Every structure is written in C-alpha cells, then in structure tokens.
Amino acid sequence: MFIIENLDFSYGSKKILNDINLKIKKGIFMSIIGPNGSGKTTLINLINGMNTNYSGNIRYLDKDLFEYSIEEKAKNFSIISQRSAIDFPFTCMEIVMMGRNPYKNRLNSLSEKDLGIVIDVMKKTDTFKFANSLITEVSGGELQRIILARALAQNPRVLFLDEAFSAMDISYKINAIRLIKKLVKEEGLTVVSVMHDINVAYKFSDEVCALKQGKVQGFGNPKEIITESFVYDVFDVEVEKINDKGFFVKV
C-alpha cells in the first residue's frame, strides 16, 4: 500500500529522519515506536502527506503521494493528531458529521446514508450518548472518542493515529483499539499509529517500526522485534518480559 524509499527530512540543518525505507501492507495495524525526539510524529506526517518538504520517495497504491489531490487524500486518509482541541461550541454529532465532508453533494448537504454512517460510528465508539452535548463540555477522553468517531465517519482506507488515545481511560483506550483492530480484520482498514506504550504496541500491532535518532532500528512482527535487549538498545531502559502479552519495567 505504501512504499517509502530513501526518505530524509531535516529542520534547517538538523537531520530528523535519515534514509527511511519501509513497505506498509494493506489491512494491517502498524505501530511506530521509539523514544521522544526519535522522529515518530515527523514520519507519520510525511506518510500521510501533512508535511511534504522531504527528499526521497513515498508511494501510495499506484502513484507518488504528491500526485494525490487534497480531495483524494481526504477520501483515503483519516488523521488523528496529538492535539485535537476544539474551541467552537459545536455539538458532538456535528463534529462527527464533519467526517462526511469529503462526500458532500453539490448542494453541500449530507444524505440519509451519511447520517446513518455517523450514527453507526458514534454507537460503535460509545459516543452517541453525547450527540447533543457541546464538544466544549466533554472531558479530554470523551473528546478523543468523538474525534475517533469523526475519523471513522470518513470511511478511510488508512487511519493515522498520533498518540490518539493518550487522554482516554484505560478501558476506553483498549476498547477503541479493539474496535480499530476489528475494522482492520473485517474491512481491510490500514492503521499507522505512533505509540509510546510498548505493551500496547506489542499486543495489538501486526508490525512495528522502531525509530531511534531518526533511523529505523527494527521493522517487522512485534513478537520477533520487541525483545528485552531490543527495548534496552532503543529506549535505554531495562524491562523484563513476563509472558507473551507484555513487559514490566525494572525500577
């Protein structure tokens, strides 16, 4: 689905990403992991086209990412970034309905089909109960669930997540990831997610890409890539594997 070759990126004279080469397959959940400042957010924003000032090649499906229009990207990609604050007093349902904007007709209106999709994703994300609540009045975790519902309402081929669940309670976080994994399995959704939680990446990812100082340190099956020694090399922290489901940090 994505082929990334010889990707370099710099802020001025500071090199952020160095010679990144990846192939991201369709219908997988891929996590980008690594310590702070390793280039995770920069990489995801290059892959999704938010940042275009790079050298190298990024291909999506059958053509270069540069060849896609904004409208085409909006129908293919949904993006949830770290900062999702909304200051205008829209209702939560109005926010989710914005996910259907790429599909509006010439009269700039939404169809009954669009409304059905909005209601469906709000029920799946347990946000329909907030439909008439103002977005400015919900909690941070509830806001993230509304933003997830909006992203899913776009009916994307690729969902990009940049620490999208950091404010959610653990139960909602796990439920959200399980919902996304279900869409990956049943509908062929492709997910590219920046993760700080190694255990979540280990448990839910089909593939992981580990970055350190702007370079790929490992790419592949998390069960094979993420080992005690690998975590120490990448994160400079000692962990102990407790079973096939995750790790403890030694303190």
CATH of the domain at 71: 3.40.50.300
Phi then psi for residue 211, to 5 deg, are -110, 150
Cα–Cα distance measured from residue 164 to residue 184, given in angstroms and rounded to the nearest whole number: 17
Q: What is the Cα–Cα distance from 168 to 80, expressed in whole angstroms?
A: 14
CA angle 237, 21, 216 (to 5 degrees): 10
Total domain count, the chain: 1
The domain of 126 spans 2-249
Global pTM reads: 0.93
pLDDT in tens, the chain (251 residues): 999 999 999 999 999 999 999 999 999 999 999 999 999 999 999 999 999 899 999 999 989 999 999 999 999 999 998 777 788 899 999 999 999 999 987 667 788 999 999 999 999 999 999 999 999 999 988 999 999 999 999 999 999 999 888 778 888 889 999 999 999 999 999 999 999 999 999 999 999 999 999 999 999 999 999 999 999 999 999 998 887 767 777 75
Placement of tokens 């340190």 in the chain: 217
Distances (CA, A) of 192 to 2, 41, 51, 96, 161: 11, 11, 16, 21, 6
Instruction: Write out the two tokens for 31.
Output: 């996590």
Q: Are the C-beta atoms of 169 and 179 separated by less than 8 Å? A: no
Tokens in use for 158?
């690729």
